A and B are shown apart, each in its own frame.
Chain A
Amino acid sequence: MIVLLAVVAGVTAGLVLHPTVPLDLQPYLPIAVVAALDALFGGVRAWLERIFDDKVFVVSFIGNVLVASLIVYLGDKLGVGGELSTGIVVVLGIRIFSNAAAIRRHLFRA
C-alpha cells in the first residue's frame, strides 16, 4: 500500500511540478536514473528474498546516485567522462539484469 502510494506520489510530483533540470546537471540525469533503477531492482529482489530493509534501500539508492554522478563528474573533469559513463552503465546494467533475472526466478519459478 505504502509502496503504491509513494510511487504514485513520486510520479505525480514529477508530472505536475514539471521541474526544469539545470543545464549543468543534465549530463548526470541519465546516469542517476540508471543508478536509481539499480537500487529499485535490488530492493524488489531483496523484498522477494524476504531480507528487505528500508534503510538499506534508501541508503543504497542515494549512495548509488551520488557515487555514479560523482564518477561522471570526475570523469568529465579528467576528460574521460564518456568512457566512465559507459563503464557505469555497463556495471549497473549487469547488476540490473542479474537482479531482474533473480526477480523473475522468484516470481515465475523459472
Chain B
Amino acid sequence: MAPGGARAGENGRVPPAPSDSKELHRRPDESMSLLVDMWTNALDPGYAAAAAGRQATGMSARSRRGGPFLLVGLLAASFLVVVAAVQAHTRAPAAARAHDRLVGEVQQESQAVSRLAGQVDDLRAATARLRDDSLRGTTAGARLAGQLAGAELAAGTVAVAGPGLRVTLDDARATQGGSGGNQGGSGNPPNRVQDRDLQSVVNALWAAGAEAIAINGQRLTAQSSIRQAGDAILVDFQPLRAPYVVSAIGDPVATETAFAQSPAADKMRGYAQLYGLHFSYARAAHVVLPAAAEEPLHAAKPLANRSGG
C-alpha cells in the first residue's frame, strides 16, 4: 500500500485542487460541439454584427427595413422556390409515365413470350403428329417411329405420367432464421435450401431408379443444370421458389427404399434436424411430368460409323 497523502481520501482518490478546477472544467461534449454550435448559432452571425455596427455608428441598432436589397432578395428567393416547385411538379408525372410505360412493356413482352412458347408447343405437337403419320405408312417407318418414341421418352422431351415419389424441400421458417449455426455471410445461410442439396437429392433419385424427374414442374434432362444465382435456385435458368418439390417417376416402393437409404437423404435429414429445413418424401400413385424444352445439339455430332445406325 502506498502511503496516502494528506488529501487522499479513503478510496485513494486525490480530489481535484480547487484552484485549477474551474479551468479544467470543460463540457463533456466539447469535442462534439458541432451539432451544439449549429443549434445555438443558427442565426447568421452577420445580423448581430450588422446591428452592432449600426449601434457603433450611432444609428439605432434596430432593424434596417426594406431597401431595394430586401426586394431583390425576397424576389429571388421566392422565384427560386416556385421554380423548384414547378420543376418537381412537372417532372414527377413524367417519371411516373416512364415507369408505367416500362411496366406495360414488360407485361406485354412477357405475354408475347408465353404466347410464343405456347406456339412452340403447338408446333412441336403438330410436327410430331405429322412425322408419326408419315412414318406409319411403312413397316420401316413404324420401327423408326417406335425408336423415336423411345428416344424421346429417354431424352425427356415428351410429357410422361406414372407412379413415383415426391420429395419436398423447404427453407427453415423465418423464426429460426437467426439461429442457423455458422451463418456463412451473405451467400448461403445454412437454414436455406442450397443448389447442392437439390443436386444431391436429384442424383440420389436417379441412383434409386427414377426414370424421369422434375423440380417444381421443370423437367430435368441430361443437359439440365441446377445452380444458384444469388438467392434464387435456377433449374435450366428458370428461377424456382421454395418449397422445392422434386417429382420422380419410377417404381414407387423400390425407389423410395433406395432413396431413403441414400447418403443424400441421410444428409438432408441431418440438415432438417440441425437447421430446421423441411425435408419429406412420399410415394405418389400418379405423377405427371411436363416435357423438357428441346435443346438441339450444335457441336456434338454422332460418330461416323454409328451414323448409319
Contacts and interface: CB of A to CB of B under 8 A. Distances in A.
B103 interface: no
B17 interface: no
Interface string B57-70: 00001111111011
Contacts of A21: 83, 87
Contacts of A49: 43, 47
B70 A54 contact: yes
Interface stretch (B71-79, B213-221, B273-281, B286-294): B71-79
Interface string B28-53: 00000001001110111011111100
B159 interface: no
A99 B82 contact: no
B102 interface: no
A42 B43 contact: yes
B84 interface: yes
B84 A30 contact: yes
A7 B72 CA distance: 10
A33 interface: yes
A11 B81 CA distance: 8
B82 A14 contact: yes
A2 B50 contact: no
Nearest to B35: A94
Interface residues of B, number: 40
A14 B79 contact: yes
Contacts of A40: 77
Nearest to B81: A33
Contact of B64 (A15, A19, A54): A54
Contact of B46 (A13, A19, A60): A60
Contact of B66 (A32, A54, A56): A54
Interface of B: 35, 38-40, 42-44, 46-51, 54, 61-67, 69-87
Closest 4 pairs (CB-CB, A-B): A14-B82, A10-B78, A6-B74, A58-B73
Interface of A: 2-3, 5-7, 9-11, 13-15, 18-19, 21, 26, 29-30, 32-33, 36-37, 39-40, 42-43, 45-47, 49-62, 65, 91, 94-95, 98-99, 102
